[in-house]
Amino acid sequence: MKPESQTCEYKEKLNEGIFKTISAFANTKGGEIIVGISKREEIKGISITNLEFEDFTNRVIKLLGIHPEMRMSDIDDKTILKINVRKSNQPISFQGKYYIRIASTTRLMKDDELREFFIKGSNWDSYTEDYSYDEIDEETIRKFVRLAINNGRLSSASEWENPKDILEKLKLSDSDKITNAAIILFGKNPQKHFVNVVVRIGRFKDQASIISDRKIGGNLFKIAEESENTIKQFINVRYEIKDSFQRKEIWDYPLPAIREALFNAIIHRDYFKSNIQIQIKVFDNFIWFYNPGILPEELTVEKLHGIHPSIARNPLIMNVFYLAGFVEEYGSGFERIKNAFKEQELPDPLISTDDSGFILQFNKRIELPDIRNLNERQKKTVGYLKKEGRISTKIYQKINETSTRTSIRDLNDLIDKGFLIRIGDGKSVYYILKK
């Protein structure tokens, strides 16, 4: 018998809790409720007449507005009821409240989850409000048009078009209604309406020591330009003189990769999450990019490492950045980042997700102290980190077949000897190689 999960729930008898679970399944991934089995997975069975079954079915339809598939069956000579609930495209409530399934638990939707559910399938950037055209900076539109012409993505005739007509052609306005995308792409002061449409960039010595902190606002063209310049101020550059006696700049991290990471964060962030900003933290030996908004359902971290389609959360914004020559439209951004790091002989960038966002980490080239004084477990771990980039205590235990206590002692010793840096707190702690 399968255990309870995000898509499976056991109930001993018919009760009000079943309606909440049906709502949760419909609002999440769908699932199956089996009535007549205890939480300990003991088959108790239920006693239900045809009339009671029909009455229950009618109550589900009346109270929830959906008709899940329900059928009686027998296990070990005991009757159980199976209720199969499909995922709904519309939020399903019970007594005015909306429920969601997290692991094997049914709980009330939070306000932001409910808001996100209602607008799912809509694009934030296409929403229109009663913005005034006076809020649009025509010079930024002209700058964009010049970029698009120079990149061969708009005709030269566009340079003479009225900026209002340009907005309409880009679907950024309609019948004098201006979209959110137009305001944050070309607005004079987008933060008047969207206070957290900014990029926060900090220079850190360690997790607790902030050396410098910048909050970059303005429209997205200004944000993109000033954010790149700020990151360049926080990292190092050296110079190589080639045979032709031309000086070549070599930055700690390849600038094309920094631009790609920055542009992708701006394009793909979830602007519905109005309480958080794009964050970039520059440390001595790595850069950490945080982008609000989880990956689309069609994408996973694993798929990003291979060939995958381009899925635009904000298609209007993406189109403008594409025309300006900032990005391509084929889902090839991460591959270009990896290639830039390979050319500069740097470790592969790391990508991961958490409950609310997407994380990208750039690491410098690894130059380690002498490993001869390490034990075999630690040497093995250094090799693992050179390949994988990060390790947790749990993974250390697994690859070295050792206890938690020994793993923590070994890892702390590697920190003391200058090999590792500890990142995060509590259960989220992981370790990376120190430069």
pLDDT at residue 91, as a whole number: 80
Q: Domain spanning 8-119 has what CATH number?
A: 3.30.950.30
pLDDT in tens, 224-233: 999 999 999 9
pLDDT at residue 60, as a whole number: 92
- With a cut of 70, say whether residue 277 has pLDDT above it: yes
pLDDT in tens, 6-30: 999 999 998 889 999 999 999 999 9
Residues in Cβ contact with 169 at an 8 Å cutoff, skipping those fewer than 6 apart: 161
Strands of 199-346 (E only): list them: 199-206, 209-216, 237-241, 247-251, 278-282, 286-292
Q: Domain spanning 371-433 has what CATH number?
A: 1.10.10.10
pLDDT at residue 120, as a whole number: 66
Does residue 363 contact residue 420 with C-beta atoms inside 8 Å?
no
- With a cut of 90, say whether residue 411 has pLDDT above it: yes
Phi and psi at residue 19, to the nearest 5°: -65, -40
- Give the single-character DSSP code of 364: P
pLDDT at residue 301, as a whole number: 80
pLDDT at residue 90, as a whole number: 73
Which of these, 325, 362, 370, lies nearest to 340 by C-alpha position?
Answer: 362
CA distances from 111 to 60, 98, 125, 188, 275 (A): 25, 10, 21, 31, 13
- With a cut of 80, say whether residue 127 has pLDDT above it: yes
pLDDT in tens, 152-164: 999 999 999 999 9
Q: How confident is the model at residue 368 (pLDDT cuts 50, 70, 90)?
A: low
pLDDT in tens, 236-258: 998 887 666 677 888 999 999 99
Task: Output 125 or 365, whichever has higher pLDDT.
Answer: 125
Average pLDDT over residues 375-400: 91
- With a cut of 90, say whether residue 294 has pLDDT above it: no
Candidate from 15-24, 96-105, 306-315, 379-388 with smallest mean pLDDT: 306-315
Q: Which long-range contacts (CB under 8 A, 24 or more apart) does 51-60 make?
A: 53/81, 56/14, 59/19, 60/19, 60/22
Lookup: tokens for 377: 């477990």
Tell me what percent of the residues of the chain surpass a pLDDT of 90.
Answer: 60
Q: How confident is the model at residue 65 (pLDDT cuts 50, 70, 90)?
A: confident
Residues of the chain with CATH 3.30.565.60: 122-364
Class of the CATH domain delimited by 122-364: alpha beta
Lookup: tokens for 417: 């000897």
Q: How far apart are CA 5 and CA 49, in angstroms?
A: 29
Task: Output 300 or 79, whichever has higher pLDDT.
Answer: 79
Residues of the chain with CATH 1.10.10.10: 371-433
Q: How far apart are CA 60 and CA 67, in angstroms?
A: 7
Three-state DSSP class for 321?
Answer: helix
Does residue 100 contact residue 109 with C-beta atoms inside 8 Å?
yes
Q: Is the dihedral of CA 99, 101, 102, 106 positive or negative?
A: positive
Residues in Cβ contact with 118 at an 8 Å cutoff, skipping those fewer than 6 apart: 91
Average pLDDT over residues 134-162: 95
- Give the single-character DSSP code of 284: S
Q: Where are the alpha helices (DSSP H) in 324-392?
A: 333-343, 376-388
CB atoms within 10 A of CB 358: 23
Q: Is the dihedral of CA 413, 414, 418, 421 positive or negative?
A: negative
- Give the single-character DSSP code of 134: G
Q: How far apart are CA 147 and CA 272, in angstroms?
A: 29
Does residue 123 contact residue 48 with C-beta atoms inside 8 Å?
no
- With a cut of 90, say whether residue 308 has pLDDT above it: no
pTM: 0.66
Residues of the chain with CATH 3.30.950.30: 8-119
pLDDT at residue 233, as a whole number: 96
pLDDT at residue 404, as a whole number: 92
Which of these, 319, 360, 16, lies nearest to 172 by C-alpha position?
Answer: 319
Q: If you average pLDDT over every residue of the chain, what do you get?
A: 89
pLDDT at residue 244, as a whole number: 65
Q: Is the dihedral of CA 83, 89, 90, 91 positive or negative?
A: positive
Q: How far apart are CA 391 and CA 388, in angstroms?
A: 8
Strands of 3-42 (E only): list them: 8-11, 31-35
Beta bridge partners of 200: 215, 279
